[in-house]
Amino acid sequence: MVLFHRKLGESGAPKGKTPLIVLHGLLGSSDNWQTLGNRWAKDRAVILVDQRNHGRSPHHPSHIYPDMVVDLLDTMDHLGIENADLLGHSMGGKTVMHFADRHPSRCGRLIIADMAPIAYPPNHTPLFDALSELDLARFERRQDVDSALAESIPDPGLRQFLLKGLYRATPDRFAFRYNLPVLRRHLADMTAFLPLGTIDCPCLALYGTRSEYVVGRGLAALKQHFPMLQAKGLEAGHWLHAENPDAFSENVEAFLI
């Protein structure tokens, strides 16, 4: 599957600079990365992709990492990219780890944002319950959807993130761009342990010090599989690129020099 993608900075990128491909997390999209992508595109080509069942990429009944790796490979082949630096956040982090394990010759450097190759508890179930219970046909305004979600999701920042996936499918009806039924069915696949070998590429792991995704056993697992690992905690939670964008961007830029 060739994924929907946005190419930034291609015309002004210095010749010979390895392109950077960015993969978003669960319920996100390439839209979430445009501000940072434009920063990085000043000296290289940056490609932001929508993973399957997200954004403007095709919906599909399968949502497992081996298939998502093939999607990334198909997209790179479509773009004529033989080798790229890869950045993945959360679900996207597991995709790029699995890609580097399966196709080491196609991966230059790896940046993993707040994710590790370990099993996680199904913490997203209440979130999917809240989204699935919405009857979008009864809402006329985006604010009305936000108010309905506030009953079960009190965090306004999280609601704003989720509502980035809301659009008007017709002039009088809202819909979500992400494929809720399939993603909900595959939650266990996305949060399961990810078997990896030893991956011998330069790797930067950025994690939120207020997030539980990497601190502790997650960091130990990353060190086990990535002997060239550099790891740094940022003052942030799981959405570290949104909560602390300057520190996140500076660390990415320094790693890619």
Q: Which SS3 state, helix, strand or coil, does residue 48 take?
A: strand
Instruction: List helix spans (H) across the chain.
Output: 34-40, 65-79, 91-102, 125-132, 142-150, 156-163, 180-185, 187-191, 217-225, 240-243, 245-256
Mean pLDDT value of segment 44-48: 97
Residue 101 has pLDDT above 70, yes or no: yes
The pLDDT-based confidence of 198 (bands split at 50, 70, 90) is very high
Distances (CA, A) of 47 to 67, 102, 254: 19, 21, 19
Quick: pLDDT tens for 49-98. 999 999 999 999 999 999 999 999 999 999 999 999 999 999 999 999 99
Mean pLDDT value of segment 230-246: 97
Mean pLDDT value of segment 208-224: 96
Residue 114 has pLDDT above 60, yes or no: yes
Quick: pLDDT tens for 174-184. 999 999 999 99
Residue 10 has pLDDT above 70, yes or no: no
> What ranges do the domains of the chain cover?
5-118+193-256, 125-177
Backbone angles phi, psi at 111, to 5 degrees: -125, 120
Q: In this predicted structure, what is the pLDDT of residue 126?
A: 92
Handedness of CA 186, 190, 194, 199 (dihedral sign): positive
Q: In this predicted structure, what is the pLDDT of residue 15?
A: 66
Is it true that domain 5-118+193-256 has CATH number 3.30.1330.10? no
Q: In this predicted structure, what is the pLDDT of residue 14?
A: 60
Residue 11 has pLDDT above 80, yes or no: no
β-pair type (166-170, 173-176): antiparallel
Residue 13 has pLDDT above 60, yes or no: no
Quick: pLDDT tens for 152-169. 999 999 999 999 999 999
Mean pLDDT value of segment 193-215: 97
